[in-house]
Structures are given as C-alpha cells and as structure tokens.
Amino acid sequence: MRKFILGIFACLLSLPLFSAESDSSVVFKASFLKNELQSYEISRALYTIHRSDTTSLERIRFKADIYVRDSTENYYLLSWKFSNFTISANNQQLRKLIEMAKPVEISCRISKPGVFIEFLNGEKVTTSLEEALPAVLAQYANKKDPKDQAEVARIYDMRETLETLMLRSVTQFHQVYGLGYTLGEIIDVPTEVNSRFSSIPIKGIIRKKLTKIDLENHLAVLSTATFLDRTEFQKALKEYLHLESLPEASISQGNIGSVVMDLSTGWVLWSFDQRETRAGNDIYGELVEIQHKNAMP
C-alpha cells in the first residue's frame, strides 16, 4: 500500500491534472468502526517566492488522532485530538508560542457516508494557546513602539492561524465523502474558501475528478482544482498588498488538491490542498497536507 501511495505522489507531480485511465466508478463513503482510532500528521506551509528564490517559509506541524466514539443508524460521532505542535519559523516568539500549545480535543458529527455535518464543540480549539498567549505577550506589556505592536499582532495572528487550521483540517478531511465519481468525469461544487488575503471567505467552485483507481489495493485518487471568484479575489489581494490597482495580466491562481482514499475502510490516506497566487514576479503559496501515519514514507 505504501508503495502505491508513493507512486501516486510521483504521478500527481508528473502527469497533467485530471488524467484518466479507464471507465470505472467509485463512491467515497465512510465504513468506520465504533472505537476505531486512526492517527494522522497535519502540516501547513506558508511561503513566498520572488522570481525563483524562496523569500519566506513558515511550516506548522501537529498530530491528529481520530477516534470513532459512536456509530448510529444515521451518523458517526468522531473525536479529533490535536497534539505535538511544532513550527519552523524565524520568529522566536512564534516558536515559543507554538511550543507551549497544549493538546486539545473536539468532536464532530458526520453522516454515515462521511459528509461533515457539524462541530459539537469547535470553540475548544481556543484552549490550546489559552495559557501560552499571556506568557508570550507579557514582555510587550506597556510597550508602545510600533515594532513591538507589530510583533503583538503577529502573535495574535498565529493564534488565529492555529485555531483555524485545526478546524480546517477536519473539513478538508471530509470534503470528498458522500459522492460517487466516474473515472474522467468532472464535478463542479460551489464553495467558500478561507484565504490568506481576506478575513472573510471568498466564493468559488471546486472542480473534482476521479483520476485513478487501484482495484487490487482498494485505493482511489481524486484530484481537485479550485477557482475563486475573480472580482472578490482581486479585491482581497489588492487590500492585502496595499495596492490601489493590479494589472489583471500579472495575476493568476493555481489552486489544486488531491485525496488518496482507502475504499475498503473509507479512511483518507493522504490529502493535500495547495493554493498559489502569482502577482507579478511574486508567488504567495500555502500547502496543507493530511497524511495517515501508516501511509507515511
């Protein structure tokens, strides 16, 4: 199985998006067992590239244990426990903040096919940095220097980033469940995307396509491409870059993703969501990956 997944990684990098191999169809649905436990590593990289040089890179990692607390006729009740938070960043205070993050557990309800329904206590993600935040901010008390105030703002932004990422990982995990896919067929689904450029979600569509089926190993690969509303996207980008205007020809979006699913169990083995925006000579990128512990190389 691991060999197959590594092969898929290579295929996704080398083949054109949405290539199909044969006429078949699958349904992405959960087949979870009560009291089942699965472990994942979740990571999020935020980067900026100028021409061909990486000018900034920040990477957050943590572990997620998914526990099936209950299985009824109509839904599953899942617990997600997040722990082992780490960050690779140049900012010492951000490293200190994340190193002090405490494990947090939240619950959600999903339908029997695996479609996300609701968080039952999603607000609990705020407790992860509840003690760390005042400890890190203490040194900035009564400091009015603009540099210190900017540092405080970055610390608060990181808290929001981590809390949002935990919730986002749950919804990303379940985004492909509950639908049947035919190899080669394109399905467009309306969506709203949280962007690094905007404090409010941007409307768009997700284009989904089943790209590979391995019947021998009971695995399937679904590829996605997300297209944001151009007007909303450009408005958010201009505000983020503090520019009055941007030549339309200098802006492009590249938002792709993929999911490798174990069809026999209904568990995701690997999922990634990459969003890249090119503005002139700069690329602003974000990559979120969810990888099953047993599927990691």
Give, for 271, the enclosing helix (H) or strand (E).
strand 267-279
Residue 68 pLDDT > 90: yes
Whether 3 and 108 map to the same domain: the answer is no
Nearest 5°: the CA angle 257, 260, 263 is: 140
Q: Where does a domain end: 133, 156, 176?
A: 176
Nearest of 36, 103, 42 to residue 71 by alpha carbon: 36
Q: pLDDT per residue over 6-28, tens digit each?
A: 444 444 433 333 333 344 889 89
Q: Where does a domain end: 156, 176, 196?
A: 176
Inter-residue contact 281 to 261 (CB < 8 Å): no
pLDDT of residue 94: 95
Half-sphere exposure of 226 (CA within 13 A, CB side): 23
- How much is the average pLDDT of 63-84? 97
pTM listed for this prediction? 0.84
Least confident of 33-47, 145-159, 166-180, 229-243: 229-243
Question: Per the domain annotation, does 45 fall within a domain?
Answer: no
Residue 171 pLDDT > 90: yes
Inter-residue contact 116 to 80 (CB < 8 Å): no
Cα end-to-end distance, the chain, whole Å: 11
| pLDDT higher at 17 or 108 | 108
Inter-residue contact 31 to 241 (CB < 8 Å): no
pLDDT of residue 14: 39
Question: Per the domain annotation, does 56 fall within a domain?
Answer: no
Q: Where does a domain end: 176, 204, 232?
A: 176
Question: Per the domain annotation, does 53 fall within a domain?
Answer: no
Nearest of 264, 177, 220, 270 to residue 24 by alpha carbon: 220
Whether 164 and 250 map to the same domain: the answer is no
Least confident of 14-28, 239-253, 279-293: 14-28
Whether 186 and 295 map to the same domain: the answer is yes
Structural domains of the chain, count: 2
Q: Report CA dihedral (279, 280, 282, 284) to the nearest 10 degrees.
A: 10
What are the two backbone dihedrals, phi and then psi, of residue 53, each rounded to the nearest 5 degrees?
Answer: -105, 135
Q: Which domain holds residue 141?
A: 64-176
What is d(CA 149, CA 141) in angstroms, rounded to the nearest whole number? 10
